Amino acid sequence: MNMASISLMCEMITAAGDGLLPLPLVQQARKGAFDALDNGASSGVWTFTEALTNQFTLVINEYDRQMRETRLHAIIGASEKVEHLLAKQGQSRNEERPSDEIADGPAAI
């Protein structure tokens, strides 16, 4: 799994009620990671602030916990949604990012 997938999975599982971190913190880390990845891809300069690194460390640890403790049904639902969003993002890279659809996704899990 890459940073994008981990952050999306963690956010969807958290939004579905199986998270210990506040959802806004997970969303902020996800947005920061996507912004850093987009900026790095377009400029060739890869920078991650200390704050983003700290936030993303929390998200990765939460993702780890979720994979150990969350119902398999919720993980499968989130995984399918992430795959769909990332595939759509790959098709329309400049039109929208998968994170723009997060508001619609978690309720369906």
Confidence check: pLDDT of 98 > 80: no
SS3 assignment, position 38: helix
How many Å apart are CA 67 and CA 72, to the nearest integer?
8
Which residues does 67 contact at the CB level (< 8 Å), separation at least 6?
75
- Which two structure tokens, joined as six digits, stand for 25? 């913190």
Residues of the chain by 3-state class (helix, strand, coil), percent to 5: 80, 0, 20
pLDDT (tens digit per residue) in 52-68: 999 999 999 999 999 99
Its pTM stands at 0.74
pLDDT at 102: 53
More confident residue, 107 or 89: 89
Q: How confident is the model at residue 106 (pLDDT cuts 50, 70, 90)?
A: very low
pLDDT (tens digit per residue) in 20-76: 999 999 999 999 988 998 999 999 999 999 999 999 999 999 999 999 999 999 999
Fill in the DSSP letter of residue 78.
H
pLDDT at 26: 96
Confidence check: pLDDT of 109 > 90: no
- Which two structure tokens, joined as six digits, stand for 48? 């991650």
